[in-house]
Structure formats: C-alpha cells, structure tokens
Structure 1
Amino acid sequence: MENQEQVATLGYVDTLEEQAVLEELLETSKPDYPDTYPNTLHYLLKTPFRYPPLHWGSRFGRIHEPSLFYGGKSLEVTLAESAFYRFVFLRSMEGTAPAAKLNTEHTLFTVGYKTDKGIQLQQPPFSAFTAALRHRTEYSLTQALGTNMREAGVEAFEYLSARSARDELCAALFTPIAFTDQAPQSRENWFCELTQEQVTFKAMGSQQVFSFCLEEFSVNRLFPMPAPSAPRNPV
C-alpha cells in the first residue's frame, strides 16, 4: 500500500523534495483520526476507521456510520475479497480503462484481535441465516445487523465471506480497541495484475500465482456492483 502511494506521487513531481511537499499537502486534505485512537497505533490499522463510508456503505455498515476494519482470516479469502474489489475499482471508472491491464503493488499484513464483546456470525443462532448474510447483491439485512451490533457495544465479529467459493471466514472490527497489537505482526509485498476478465496476485519473491476470473463473482451473468441502487454490469 505505502509503496504504491509513493510511486504515484513521485510521478507528478521532479524531485524528492517536491514529493515530500505534495505528500504533506495530501495528508492535510484527509480526514483527521478520531481523538480516541492511540497515537501509537500503526497507520495501516487505524486508516480504515479514518474515512467515511463509501456512497453505498459496506456489508455491515450504512452510509451514515463510521467505517469498519475488514480482513480475511486466511490468505485465500483475503485475496478473493481483494479481487472482487479490484473488479469494482475497474468498473467504477468513467469512460475507457486507461490500459488493457493495470499493474499495482499492495501490502498484505497480519494482525491479531481479541475481545470479550464479539460475535461469531458463522455459529448458531446466526448460522440459520447464512444465505442472507452471504448474499452477493443484497446488503440491507447485514447493514441492519451491523447497526444493531454497533449499538449493542460489539467490538469485533466474524462472518462467512460472500466472495469466496468456499466457507472461508472474514473478521471485522468496529473499533481498534479489539486489536491485540499496535502494529501489523507481519507485512509482505504483493503484485497485482488487473484486466477486464481476471485478477492475478503474486507475492514478491514467490513463484506461486493466485488468479480470479470475473465470472467467479457474477450473479446471473452480471457483475454485482456493491451499490444496491447502481446498475449491474454484464459479464
């Protein structure tokens, strides 16, 4: 993540000094961190809580609510969720995509979480509603559930991914209080290649490749853009 940002800003300036000024200007334009968050918390952990929700909200967050920290509990589900949102990113562009493929760098990191105020939505009684909780196009039930959990003081919860083909688990935090660490336990640089039909990930220094086709995420041959009111894109 940070490597990608530095490369992006360097492309607009001629010197490292100008880059430092540009990054400082960009930083001042971003929302402030909540005062209740510890200064020692690493920015990769607190940044998800910094920004307002997307215009469609998120799976467990409404548009008027603070954002959540979402993560996968395995490498495979993390990449599957990331692949879906790479397609969302590409299909959200206005006009024609700038290139036949987009190559980007990303940081995959791990962090622990623990709380006495948590819920496992993959367990009873919630497991009786698995189909609704994993619905690929309808967020109204999960967003209402997210509001109820937030108001009840839930700090973190686990749930089954809606994007993984298998029963893979994700986790979400309403607050950084549930983190067991002030910084990521590990970090790894990954390359991503994005085309209209496929997302491919490869860790730096590794020969193993993870690929996801657009059709894996389709619903009735349409790509399910997360905005409930937005038209869906034909696959």
Structure 2
Amino acid sequence: MSAGPWKDDWFAHARPARRKLWRGVEAQHRVATMRLVDSSAEQELLEQLLEASKPPLPPDSQGLHYLISTPFRYSSPYPSRYRPANEPGVWYGAEQPETVAAELAYWRWKFLIESDGLRDAQLVTEHTFFQAQFRGVELDLTAPPWATLRELLRDGNDYSACHRLAREVRARSAPAIDALHYESARRAGGMCQAVLVPRALSLPAMHPQQTWVCKTTRALVMFRHDGQALEFPFG
C-alpha cells in the first residue's frame, strides 16, 4: 500500500525521457584555496588533501564528472524537497536557468537569515550554471494523475509528502524510476528534475555554461548574468 495520498497504479505512468537540465554551483572554492597558498604546486597539493578528506564516492558514481557525482557523495542533516535528512543524495536540475536562480535564491536567503551574525549582512557570491543531460525513466508529477497533488507537492515549507514519495520511489523495483519531474515551488511554471540515479546523467565535453553573480540580503536576492537581472524579494 502506498505511503501517501496517491494510488499504487499511479507509478505505472513512469516513462522513458530525455531532458537537458541546468544546475548551479558556487564557483568560489578555488579562489578560497588560492588565498591559502603561494604557488600552483601548493594549491594542487591542498586540493588533493581536501579531496582525500571527502567521503568516498558511491559505487554507481565512480568515473562520473564531479559536477554529476558530487550531490550523490554527501548526505546532509538538512532536508531538501525530495531528500530527507541524512538520506542518499539527489541531483537537482531545472529546464531553465531562471528556475535555477529562483531555487538558489531561496536557499541563499535561508542560509543568511539562519546564520548568527549574517542576518544584516550582504553576501556576494559567484555561481556557474551548467547544462547536463538526463536520459532515463521519469515520473512526471506535473501530468495526470499526479497533477491533482500540485499544491501538496509544491508546499514551500512542508516537504513531508515529497519525502514519502521519494522513499516509495526508491523502494520500488517495478517500474524502476530514475527521476521525478516536478514544478518548482519557488517559480510557478518552472520545471525541475530530481535525479535519483547517477548513471541517468551525463555531461558532454562541450556543455553550455553561464556565470551568474548573486547578492543576498535579508529582504532581496539578486542574480545578474550578461545584462540579465533577476530579483527575488523575501519577507
């Protein structure tokens, strides 16, 4: 029996799909390590030491580009929409860079207001948006019959239904589902993908990239890229 307000036969709607997905990562880690060293050799050694201190890659992530494998490498005590706390990683992407910015804006703002001493600060960060390819079996939560649960699965604060769904998807072998296709809670109409299986993703050698600068305050998060400006107000 299903663990949520859906029916067992709804999972039979999973279908093979191909999608191009954007994801954003903070682009300042090499700048941070460069401040600590005096030569390229020292920086390379420091990067190797940092790599050795990380958790080992899961077997199904071995050999993949780090932009693909990194989200599967770590568990976190903090939950995300389709990843309960301390459970296996999920790779999140979106069909449009603007949706990536909306999702990142929320998490940057949340980090600011929940950090002692930062609530009245201004944080400026640089992010690389890159495009990967998904090919696998997806469950489209924006299509019938799942679309009837739109408000529940887009709740901005309560992820409990999403967590129940993710656990049930992982536990099912028929059909085996690689990803969940869903609507962003931070940008209405923005389509996102929660990829559960690393091998469903690939990163072409000539994948598109964009550089975005983000400014975060307690009232507003701004993103800028090549003259394009996005603003996300918060309460």
User: Which residue pairs with 1:5 in the alignment?
Assistant: 29
Partner of 2:104: 82
Aligned to 2:59, the other structure's residue is in SS state coil
- What is the one-letter code of the residue matched to 2:179? A
Higher RCO (C-alpha under 8 Å, 6+ residues apart): 2
1:105-120 to 2 correspondence within 5 Å? 105-115=126-136, 117-120=137-140
Q: Is the 8 A contact 1:161 1:168 kept in 2?
A: yes
SS in structure 1 opposite 2:125? strand
Q: 2:72 matched to which residue of 1?
A: 49
| Maintained 8 Å contact 2:212/2:224 | yes
Whole-Å separation in 2 of the counterparts to 1:92 and 1:99: 11
Q: Choose from 161, 166, 169 the match for 1:149.
A: 169
Q: Which residue of 1 aligns with 2:182?
A: 159
CA shift at 1:89, angstroms?
A: 1.7
- 1:3 CA drift (Å): 4.0
Q: Residue 124 of structure 1 is aligned with which of 144, 147, 166?
A: 144
Identity of aligned residues (%): 35
- Pick closer, same or farther for the CA change 1:12–1:82 going to 2, 3 Å: same
Q: Tell me, in whole angstroms, the C-alpha distance in 1 between the residues paired with 2:154 and 2:104.
A: 16
Q: What amino acid is the match of 1:76?
A: E
The answer to whether the Cα contact below 8 Å between 2:68 and 2:202 also exists between their aligned partners in 1 is: no
Q: Retained in 2: the 8 A contact 1:42–1:183?
A: no
Q: Tell me how far apart the structure 2 counterparts of residues 6 and 188 of structure 1 sit (CA, whole Å).
A: 17
- Report the residue type matching 1:109 in the other structure: F
**TM superposition shift of 1:21:** 2.5
Unaligned runs of 5+ in 1: 216-235
- What secondary structure is seen at the aligned counterpart in 1 of 2:100? helix
One of 191, 198, 209 as aligned partner of 1:176:
198
| Cα RMSD for the two superposed structures | 2.0
Which residue, out of 118, 121, 128, partners 1:100?
121
SS at match of 2:166: helix
Report the Cα distance in structure 1 between the residues aligned to 2:43 and 2:114, rounded to whole angstroms. Answer: 28
Equivalent position SS for 1:192: strand
Match of 1:193 in 2: 215
Report the Cα distance in structure 2 between the residues aligned to 1:155 and 1:104, rounded to whole angstroms: 32
How far is 1:42 from its partner?
1.3
**Count of aligned positions:** 208
Structure 2, gaps ≥5 residues long: 1-24
Q: Tell me, in whole angstroms, the C-alpha distance in 1 between the residues paired with 2:69 and 2:114.
A: 25
Instruction: State the Cα distance separating 1:99 from its structure 2 match.
Output: 7.6
Q: Work out which of the residue numbers 18, 34, 42 in structure 2 matches 1:18.
A: 42
CA distance in 2 between counterparts of 1:127 and 1:71 reads 20
How far is the alpha carbon of 1:184 from its aligned partner?
Answer: 7.0
Counterpart AA for 1:70: Y
Shift in CA distance, 92/12, structure 1 to aligned 2, threshold 3 Å: farther
User: Measured at CA, do residues 63 and 136 of structure 1 come closer, stay the same or move farther in structure 2, by a change above 3 Å?
Assistant: same
